[in-house]
Amino acid sequence: MSSESSLFSHRWLPALLLAPMILLILLFFYVPVFQAFYWSFFLEQPFGGGSEFVGFENFQRVLGDPEFWAATGRTVVFMLTASSLAVVVPLMLAIAADRKIGMSYPARNILVWPKGIAGASIGVVFAFIFNPFVGLMAPLNALFPGLWNPGIDGTDAFTTLVAAHVWSGIPFNFVILLAGLRSIPPTMYQAAAMDGAGPWRRIFDVQLPLIMPQLFLTFVLEFTESITSVFALIDTITGGGPGGSTSLLVYKIYVDGFRGFDLSGASTQTAILMVFVLLLAACQFYFLGRRINYER
Amino acid sequence: MVENARSINIAASILLAIGILYIVGPLYLTLSTASQSYEYMLRNGLAWVPGTELFANMGKVIHDTRIPIQMLNSMIVAFSNALATCILSFLSAYAIVYFRIRWAGVAFALILATIMLPLDIRVITTYQVASNIFSPLNAVLDFTGLNSLIETMFGAPVQLELSVLDTHFGLIAPLVAHGTGTFLFRQFFLTLPKDLFKAARMDGAGPIRFLIDILLPLARTSFASLFVLTFLSGWTQYLWPLVGASTPDMQTAVVGLARLVPDADGQVPDFPMIMAGAVLVSLVPLTMIALLQRFLVQGLVLSEK
């Protein structure tokens, strides 16, 4: 759009049009992001009691805290397990729903429903369904006492979180991957069939390679999503327990900041988490992004 | 193409059936338990068959809890979030695509970067900003030394204070500060033929007229998609409404629902009542999905491209 007549020229109108959005974003995005980094170098007193520059002391304190590393480790484990499941499960469903079979119409409709159910709502529901005394596992627990108790066993609690996360993540990833599959030209399948590739073979040789861009995108978004949106699930299903075994970083930041009033510690961890998320996205773009340029 | 694809079709059908069961199962158990009495639940655990107590349990939620007013809050937050996002995103994308401005790329990058760091990550400091939205201005005045100048001239430095916590505006504004909508409209504008613009110019249409008479009608589907998407996202928010509103009457329904579960262990909570609450809270967004699914799916796909 460089030719003379293809754009409006106006002195203040574009600035006026952009102003509301930019102002909101400056105030509620850039200032908070900046402040998290700024505060990580200060010792903040709660309730506005003044602040004192402490250099890297906050970072030393946070990085020397075994709880921080435990929460980081759990965040990474959750990110790897929950987000790979939250991509692979919708991927299999999308490949199935892409076929012209009777089930694919209801599936395309129903698999989008979780989009309307808040993470916290499904958290409340899963907390009930997986309740050891009245839930799904109660009859089994009666037969084998202690088989399932997310209130005591950290692994059980973690599993419940993963199941709830995958449940909530299905709509977006399913829709994106299905859209990718449907945009593959039919001639590709015909050519593969001519070469003797059966329907199973075509999944791996035609469909998967051609939806790499969508697959890549869902992974990028899902990694961030699994780190942040898990808060609602933790708060409603496990409360970080038992014994801190499901206290992921995003939850620990909330507890430190809003219950412990440790603003400096919470800000420092926020800053570290932000850098982590940005690095993660950058890495994915660098390592994965290079390999997925298939011409359609 | 004729070929034998029986085995894969059977496998696909089974897989989809399991997928549907996985999604619908928890929803069904929620509904069936919501329709049983507390005593039934104590005796039998979760309910596999629906009972007759659904409306009694819903009545309990409506009369004994703050869920009704919280649903009104959710409605206000979700609707305003959707409307404000649609309007502001449309205007900013319009400015970026159709005006000759040198800093268009910078403005777009500034807006788009918000997608990288979700609100849940920066909740601590967003809370601080919301507790006094003039704090950045005060800080700038302090930092540049303007405030000491003002102090010597007028006797006191500028220290403005306005908290948007516990207000609807405070619940909504941080949600609107997000780049997806601008991105979506920009992509849409770029797909429109340039001749459209040239023809409009030739007919003497100015920027405002072009916006209202040409772009607005063309963008109807994009508006609908973005509206559904942001409405659902506003309704299902949890962490921000949890900290942004401290009184039960300002909280949103999802937060209120989570608070129905008692913190202390011991007695088994009234799960049928809580499940009835979950049904009530999910009714509005699920109805929306049922009616406007086409736009939701389109919105999800568009926001990705």
Read off the CATH number of the domain in which B217 is found. 1.10.3720.10
Question: Which of A188, A216, A191 has the alpha carbon at shortest distance from A293?
Answer: A216
- Helix H or strand E segment including A108: helix A104-110
Higher pLDDT, B72 or B36: B72
In a domain, A225, yes or no: yes
Closest by alpha carbon to A149, among A163, A164, A138?
A138
- Looking at residue A8, the DSSP 8-state letter turns out to be B
Between positions 217 and 246 of B, the ones with CB within 8 A of A are: 232, 235-239, 242-243
pTM recorded for the entire structure: 0.89
Is-contact B296 B228, C-beta < 8 A?
A: yes
pLDDT band at B305 (very low <50, low <70, confident <90, very high): low
CB contact under 8 A, B117 and A227: no
Q: Sorting pLDDT into bands at 50, 70 and 90, what band is A3?
A: very low
Q: State how far the Cα of B291 lies from the Cα of B273, in Å rounded to an integer.
A: 27
Residue B7 structural domain = 1-63
Q: Could you say which residues from 152 to 171 on chain A have a Cβ atom under 8 Å away from some Cβ of chain B? A: 167, 170-171
Q: Mean pLDDT throughout A226-254?
A: 86
The pLDDT of residue A22 is 92
Residue-level pLDDT at B77: 94
Residue B103 pLDDT exceeds 80: yes
Are B242 and A235 inside 8 Å of each other by CB?
A: yes
Query: B24 and B134 in one domain?
Result: no
CB A35 to CB B16 under 8 A?
A: no
Counting the structural domains of chain A, the total is 1
User: If contacts are CB pairs under 8 Å, which of residues 55-94 in chain A contact chain B?
Assistant: 89, 92-93
What is the pLDDT confidence band of residue A296, given thresholds at 50, 70 and 90?
very low
Q: Indicate if the pLDDT at residue B158 is higher than 80.
A: no
Candidates B30, B88, B296; nearest CB to A125 = B30
* Chain B residue closest in CA terms to A225: B118
CATH code for the domain in which residue A245 is found: 1.10.3720.10
Answer with the one of B63, B80, B110 that is the final residue of a domain.
Answer: B63
Label residue A213 exposed, middle or buried (CB < 10 Å: 0-12, 13-18, 19+): middle
- CB-neighbour burial class of residue B193 (10 A; exposed 0-12, middle 13-18, buried 19+): exposed
Top-ranked range on mean pLDDT: pick from A61-70, A87-96, A206-215, A275-284: A87-96
Each residue's pLDDT tens digit, B288-303: 888 888 888 888 887 7
Domain extent at residue A145: 66-291
Tally: H helices and E strands in chain B: 17, 0
Which of A50-64, A245-259, B119-133, B188-202 comes out lowest in average pLDDT? Answer: A50-64
Q: Which residue of B has its CA nearest to A12?
A: B101
Half-sphere exposure of A158 (CA within 13 A, CB side): 19
Residues in chain A with CB shorter than 8 Å from the CB of B107 are 18, 22
pLDDT of residue B75: 94
pLDDT of amino acid A103: 84
Question: Same domain for B10 and B97?
Answer: no
Which residues, at least 6 apart from B95, have a Cβ–Cβ distance to it below 8 Å?
Answer: A13, A14, A15, A17, A18, B101, B104, B107
Quick one: average pLDDT of A17-39?
91
Per mean pLDDT, which range of A251-255, B43-47, B52-56, B130-134 is the poorest?
B43-47
B55 and B166 co-located in one domain: no
Cβ-proximal residues to A282 (8 Å cutoff; 6+ apart), any chain: none
**What does the pLDDT read at residue A26?**
92
d(CA B216, CA B192) in angstroms, rounded, equals 13
Q: Which residue has the higher pLDDT, A201 or B93?
A: B93
Q: Suggest the residue from A18, A34, A100, A190 to mutate for an interface test with chain B (most B CBs closer than 10 A).
A: A18
Residues B22 and B76 in one domain: no
Does A90 score more than 90 pLDDT?
yes
- Same domain assignment for residues B46 and B80: no
Number of domains chain B contains: 2
Is the pLDDT reported for residue B50 higher than 80? yes
pLDDT at B133 over 90: no
Q: Encoding tokens for residue A143?
A: 């037969």
- Residue A88: inside a domain: yes
H/E stretch holding B247 reads none
Answer yes or no: is A153 within a domain.
yes
* Residue A1: per-residue pLDDT: 41
CA distances to A99, A147, A154, B36, B189 from A140, in Å: 38, 7, 19, 22, 57
Tell me the CB-side half-sphere exposure of residue B49, using CA atoms within 13 A. Answer: 4
Task: Give percent of chain B above pLDDT 90.
Answer: 26
Averaged pLDDT for residues A127-156 = 80
Residue A109 in tokens: 């409709």
Which of the four pLDDT bands, split at 50, 70 and 90, describes residue B76?
very high
B98 vs B94: CA distance, rounded Å: 6
Closest alpha carbon to B18 in A150, A187, A89: A89
Task: Return the residue of A nearest to B12 by Cα.
Answer: A96
Last residue of a domain, one of B38, B63, B88: B63
Same domain, B108 and B150: yes
Identify the residue whose tokens are 């390999």. A291
**Which whole number is the average pLDDT over B239-261?**
89
pLDDT over 90 at B268, yes or no: no
A117-131, A234-248, A267-281, B119-133: segment of lowest average pLDDT: A234-248
- Specify the pLDDT at position A165: 92
In a domain, A46, yes or no: no
Contact A167 B22 (CB under 8 A): yes
Residues B41 and B109 in one domain: no
**pLDDT score of B227 more than 70:** yes
| Residues B71 and B111 occupy one common structural domain | yes
Give the per-residue pLDDT at A2.
Answer: 41
User: Where is the domain boundary, B28, B63, B98?
Assistant: B63
Which range in A79-88, A219-228, B205-214 is most confidently predicted, on average pLDDT? A79-88
Task: Compute the distance between CA of residue A279 and CA of residue A281 in angstroms, rounded to an integer.
Answer: 5
**pLDDT higher than 80, residue A288:** no
pLDDT of residue B144 exceeding 70, the answer is yes
Interface of A with B in 93-122 (CB under 8 A): 93, 95-97, 99, 101-104, 106-107, 109-122
Residues A227 and A273: beta-carbon distance below 8 Å: yes
Position B264 scores a pLDDT of 62
Residues in chain B: 305
Lowest mean pLDDT among A30-44, A173-187, A203-217, B255-269: B255-269
Count of C-beta atoms within a 10 Å radius of residue B209: 12
Q: Do B128 and A250 touch (CB under 8 A)?
A: no
Are both B177 and B218 inside the same structural domain?
Answer: yes
What pLDDT does residue A290 have?
57
Residue B70 sits in the same domain as residue B173? yes
pLDDT, position A48:
59
